[in-house]
């Protein structure tokens, strides 16, 4: 391909709406252009990268025995109603009506659609297991589309769904997908770590997210250097190991604490750390329950853990009027036993029942000092895990200290269980001729997000550094010529390389050398050949390794040697991906 005939609209300036490197570089290097909020046009360079990622995913999925489908993006509302997600999906789902007033959605995911296709096809245990997938466009009306294609409203996903006779078979496919994802990301040159994730209310029993560690990540991960544990903070369980220091008696004292409403103020006033206080978090869950969670003062509530425990999905703080009508003195609410019917009282396991704390006295302007939960509330209280893990907390695996990192989710594997097979009544006959309800798994990868995260992970001040496997072109040939005769000579080299299968973009544009060299580094071709003054004067050319920025000059000894040199570097770069 000749640059003079291609579209390379590179720019020096960052787009004004871009805040992250990948977004800036994808626009500046001419891979994408914004269409409108959360919608992007892919230009030829960007399209080539997407197609390469798609091909890697397809090859690895096929190797794992998955079968490729393509389903309509437009999905019938009745499918969503059957699973109960027509309501649940809320505003994130794009909805529309046809001319006959029939309702549809632009698929944000395809569990229902695949369940519906597979149901009449799967008849016997002999038809199982099956893993089916597509690589297709998804629509999600994200509240905040941002970071360019990382969180967009239209994107391409590889979504796979597996069907099984029992959980053992599901476990096997889940494990195979786990390994397949590792291979896919490795081949894309992307370093990911699988973390245990929350399965939410989906009824599933396992879920792992493939995360790319990045300061711009919207997810928080908890990691352990000692044993390698990695979890999404939403999921990371906390187990506290308290010394058995049973206090025989409590010196409970009521203290006048006017206008001290924050935990920090109280700790300061009593000259203690916030971990020696107990605070109350007052909430409304799914608009049906009033809930108070007592946590140690230094802990933060983990909404996901609470929702999972309550079986709810939405929580919000109680308003001051709501607190008042429940007889709660906001700012001075201290531990009490569940007695009133209209409020659920929960205690977090970070509280050591045998320790003395400063707590609200349930009376304006007063706190208690020396409040020992086991003495004041008795031993019947259940302390459960509701707090969010943070740096320094004990690893759930080995007890060492956890540390936090930010991460971007690029893939997700999930044991769905029977949620959809139940809703769609997907059963087959087992060996004994009995009808058995199937169990399912689902496995997603965002292609556009993968492309952007590779750039997040792999760029420098000059531009993008593509892993060779997904580079728009493996090789860029920059020629610096003075006349038609010189250009003709380069053209014959270009033709030879192309005819011999080198994936090459020749920058034959009538532009200055500085401009062309800068462009090639911005776009990020892994291998750059430069044929300029030295070639015509000294019979030398140079090769730049974009990753190391090491440029080496070689004598030109014919096209065959040139090809061998290119292939040698290319193979080395491919090897580096899997080493």
Angle, vertex CA 276, rays to CA 271 and CA 282, nearest 5: 115
* 133 C-beta neighbours (distance < 10 Å), count: 27
Q: Are 283 and 395 in contact (CB under 8 A)?
A: no
For residue 391 the two structure tokens come to 């740096």
Q: What minimum distance in Å lies between the beta carbon of 445 and ligand ATP?
A: 6
DSSP 188-249: TT---EEEE---GGGT-SEEEEEEEE-TT-SEEEEEETTT--EEETTT------------S-
Question: Choosing among Mg ion, ligand ATP, none, which partner's interface includes residue 469 (Cβ < 5 to 8 Å by kind)?
Answer: none
Q: How far is residue 131's CA from residue 140's CA, in Å, rounded to a whole number?
A: 24
Q: What minimum distance in Å lies between the beta carbon of 76 and Mg ion?
A: 24
Nearer to Mg ion, 114 or 414 (CB): 414
Q: What minimum distance in Å lies between the beta carbon of 440 and ligand ATP?
A: 15
Nearer to Mg ion, 110 or 412 (CB): 412
Question: Choosing among ligand ATP, Mg ion, none, which partner's interface includes residue 358 (Cβ < 5 to 8 Å by kind)?
Answer: none
Question: Choosing among Mg ion, ligand ATP, none, which partner's interface includes residue 222 (Cβ < 5 to 8 Å by kind)?
Answer: none
- Compute the CA torsion angle 166, 170, 172, 174 (nearest 10 deg): -170
> Considering only CA atoms, which of 241, 246, 245, 253 is closest in space to residue 359?
253
> Considering only CA atoms, which of 163, 204, 173 is closest in space to residue 436?
163
Nearer to Mg ion, 46 or 217 (CB): 217
Angle, vertex CA 489, rays to CA 485 and CA 491, nearest 5: 110
Q: What minimum distance in Å lies between the beta carbon of 264 and ligand ATP?
A: 32
Burial class of residue 167 (count of CB atoms within 10 Å of its CB; 0-12, 13-18, 19+) = middle
For residue 387 the two structure tokens come to 């707090």
Nearer to ligand ATP, 217 or 297 (CB): 217
In the complex, which residue's CB is closest to Mg ion? 412
Q: What minimum distance in Å lies between the beta carbon of 446 and ligand ATP?
A: 2
Question: Choosing among ligand ATP, Mg ion, none, which partner's interface includes residue 156 (Cβ < 5 to 8 Å by kind)?
Answer: none
Letters for 371-410 (x = contact with Mg ion by CB under 5 A, - = none) are: ----------------------------------------
Q: Applying CB under 5 A, does 158 fall inside the site for Mg ion? A: no
In the complex, which residue's CB is closest to ligand ATP? 446
Q: What minimum distance in Å lies between the beta carbon of 507 and Mg ion?
A: 40
Letters for 1-40 (x = contact with Mg ion by CB under 5 A, - = none) are: ----------------------------------------
Question: Choosing among ligand ATP, Mg ion, none, which partner's interface includes residue 418 (Cβ < 5 to 8 Å by kind)?
Answer: none
Residue 370 backbone zone (phi > 0: left; psi -120 to 50: alpha; other: beta): left
Q: How far is residue 552's CA from residue 542's CA, in Å, rounded to a whole number?
A: 5
Nearer to ligand ATP, 152 or 236 (CB): 152
Q: What minimum distance in Å lies between the beta carbon of 346 and ligand ATP?
A: 26
Q: What minimum distance in Å lies between the beta carbon of 412 and Mg ion?
A: 4
Question: Choosing among ligand ATP, Mg ion, none, which partner's interface includes residue 151 (Cβ < 5 to 8 Å by kind)?
Answer: ligand ATP
Q: Are 421 and 128 in contact (CB under 8 A)?
A: no
Residues that bind ligand ATP (CB under 6 A): 109, 140, 142, 151-152, 155, 157, 409-412, 444-446, 448-449
Give residue 131's Cα distance to chain centre.
22
Q: What minimum distance in Å lies between the beta carbon of 448 and ligand ATP?
A: 5
CA 423 to each of CA 112, 164, 297, 347, 399: distance values in angstroms, whole numbers, following the listed order: 9, 16, 43, 36, 41
Nearer to ligand ATP, 348 or 409 (CB): 409
Nearer to ligand ATP, 110 or 528 (CB): 110
* 74 C-beta neighbours (distance < 10 Å), count: 13
Q: Applying CB under 5 A, does 412 fall inside the site for Mg ion? A: yes
Question: Choosing among ligand ATP, Mg ion, none, which partner's interface includes residue 446 (Cβ < 5 to 8 Å by kind)?
Answer: ligand ATP
Binding site for Mg ion (CB under 5 A): 412
């Amino acid at each position: 391909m000749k640059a003079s005939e291609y579209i390379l609209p590179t720019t020096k300036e960052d787009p004004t709406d871009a805040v992250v490197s990948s977004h800036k570089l994808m626009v500046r290097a001419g891979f994408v252009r914004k269409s409108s909020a959360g919608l992007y046009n892919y230009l030829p360079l960007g399209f080539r990268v997407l197609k390469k990622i798609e091909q890697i995913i397809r090859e690895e999925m096929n190797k794992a025995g998955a079968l490729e489908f393509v389903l309509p993006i437009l999905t019938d509302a009745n499918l969503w109603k059957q699973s109960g997600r027509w309501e649940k999906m809320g505003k994130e789902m794009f909805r529309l009506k046809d001319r006959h007033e029939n309702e549809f959605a632009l698929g944000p995911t395809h569990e229902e659609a695949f369940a519906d296709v597979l149901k009449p096809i799967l008849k016997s245990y002999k038809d199982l297991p099956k893993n089916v997938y597509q690589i297709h466009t998804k629509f999600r009306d994200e509240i905040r589309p941002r970071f360019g294609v990382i969180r967009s409203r239209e994107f391409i996903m590889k979504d796979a769904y597996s069907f099984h006779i029992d959980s053992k078979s599901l476990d096997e496919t889940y494990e195979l997908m786990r390994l397949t994802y590792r291979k896919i990301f490795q081949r894309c040159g992307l370093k990911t770590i699988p973390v245990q994730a929350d399965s939410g209310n989906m009824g599933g029993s396992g879920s792992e997210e493939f995360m790319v560690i990045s300061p711009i990540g919207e997810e928080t991960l908890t990691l352990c250097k000692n044993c390698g544990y990695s979890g999404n903070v939403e999921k990371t369980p906390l187990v506290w190991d308290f010394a058995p220091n049973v206090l025989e008696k409590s010196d409970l004292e009521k203290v006048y604490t006017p206008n001290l409403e924050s935990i920090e103020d109280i700790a300061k006033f009593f000259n203690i750390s916030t971990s020696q206080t107990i605070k109350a978090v007052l909430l409304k869950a799914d608009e049906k329950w009033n809930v108070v969670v007592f946590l140690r003062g230094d802990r933060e509530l983990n909404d996901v853990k609470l929702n999972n425990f309550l079986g709810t999905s939405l929580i919000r703080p109680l308003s001051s009027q709501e607190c008042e009508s429940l007889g709660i003195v906001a700012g001075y609410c201290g531990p009490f036993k569940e007695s009133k019917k209209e409020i659920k009282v929960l205690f977090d396991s970070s509280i050591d029942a045998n320790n003395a704390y400063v707590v609200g006295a349930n009376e304006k302007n007063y706190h208690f000092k020396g409040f020992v939960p086991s003495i004041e509330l008795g031993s019947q209280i259940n302390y459960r895990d509701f707090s969010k893990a943070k740096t320094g907390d004990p690893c759930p695996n080995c007890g060492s200290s956890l540390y936090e990192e930010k991460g971007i989710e690029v893939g997700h594997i999930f044991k769905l269980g029977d949620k959809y097979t139940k809703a769609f009544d997907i059963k087959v006959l087992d060996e004994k001729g009995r009808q058995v309800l199937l169990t399912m798994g689902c496995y997603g990868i965002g292609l556009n997000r993968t492309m952007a995260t590779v750039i997040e992970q792999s760029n420098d001040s000059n531009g993008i550094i593509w892993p060779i496997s997904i580079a728009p072109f493996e090789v860029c040939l920059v020629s610096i010529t003075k006349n038609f005769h010189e250009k003709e000579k380069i053209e014959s080299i270009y033709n030879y390389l192309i005819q011999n299968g080198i994936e090459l973009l020749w920058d034959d544009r009538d532009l200055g050398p500085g401009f062309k060299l800068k462009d090639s580094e911005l776009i990020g071709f892994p291998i750059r050949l430069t044929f300029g003054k030295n070639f015509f004067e000294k019979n030398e050319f140079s090769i730049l390794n974009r990753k190391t920025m090491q440029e080496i000059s070689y004598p030109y000894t014919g096209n065959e040697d040139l090809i061998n040199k290119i292939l040698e570097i290319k193979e080395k770069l491919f090897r580096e991906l899997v080493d």
